[in-house]
Structure 1
Amino acid sequence: MLTLGHSTKLYMCRKPVDFRYGFDGLANLCKKMAGKDPYNGSVFLFFNRSMTKAKLIYFDGTGSVMIWKRLEQGKYKLPKTDENEEFPTLRGTDAALLLEGVDASKIKRGKAWKPVSNKDLN
């Protein structure tokens, strides 16, 4: 089972891909376009041209996993990312919202908490 938590390493392909590709074809795109290893446990997210279908691939340590989701209504709305990056990193929680069809640009996220360092305590 795939859990898209805050610590999940996830890369999103900004360009639409041919959805006839299976795991091997998409893994090859990860290597060629992003220079990423699709067998390191990271999750890779792809969309079709009409932005109505999504595919996720990852390697779970024992085998290759591919998940395909089609929105029955509406289209996926990609979050704002660096347009120069073909495979920007997403938080797992942002990817989960995206896959639910939620427009993340309309969500206001609170400031992230960071622990105080030992230097600041002295």
Structure 2
Amino acid sequence: MLGDITVAENIYIACGYTDMRKSIDGLAAVVQEQFHLDPFSRNLFLFCGKRRDRIKVLLWEGDGFLLLYKRLENGNFQWPRREGDVKPISWQQFRWLMEGLEIEQKSRILPAEKADFC
């Protein structure tokens, strides 16, 4: 199905900055040569430019590549800056990133245990 990113088994974020002029072939080459991962796997690969207001998402759908592009009108993505590194992230971290939050949250509310009432 065209554009169904939920088929992705893993999500990888390309830390640092990527030249946003790269097309599908250029991004697939980065995945293969720089990160030593298979661009033809069912994984989402996320890339961000220096301005951090736009991202590209690369996904192999089995019959071809899907390239998604998102540009923010206000604000920027909280992108990890470690140059040349690729990092696996969870779907929750992906949602945080799309909402403008950092993928590494400092704290969270833990689930409560059942307790007796007074």
Per the TM alignment, residue 106 of structure 1 is displaced from its structure 2 partner at its CA by 5.5
Q: TM-score, normalised by structure 2?
A: 0.78
Map Cα deviations across residues 36-93 of structure 1 (whole Å, 9 max, x no partner): 001011110000001111111010112100100011111111369xx58700100022
Instruction: Report the counterpart of residue 3 of structure 1 in structure 2.
Output: 6
Which structure features the higher share of strand residues? 2
**Aligned-partner Cα distance in 2 for 1:107–1:100:** 17
Letter in 1 for 2:33: K
Kindly tell me: are residues 61 and 13 of structure 1, through their superposed partners in 2, closer, same or farther at Cα, counting changes over 3 Å? same
Q: SS of 2:51's equivalent?
A: coil
Instruction: Report the counterpart of residue 31 of structure 2 in structure 1.
Output: 30
- What are the equivalent positions in structure 2 for 1:1-122 lying under 5 Å apart? 1-3=4-6, 8-78=9-79, 83=82, 86-104=85-103, 105=105, 108=108, 110=110
**Aligned-partner Cα distance in 2 for 1:94–1:109:** 15
Q: Structure 2: which 5+ residue stretches go unaligned? A: 112-118
Q: CA RMSD in A?
A: 2.5
Q: SS of 2:5's equivalent?
A: coil
Question: Does structure 2 conserve the Cα–Cα contact (< 8 Å) formed by 1:8 and 1:91?
Answer: no
Equivalent residue pairs, number:
107
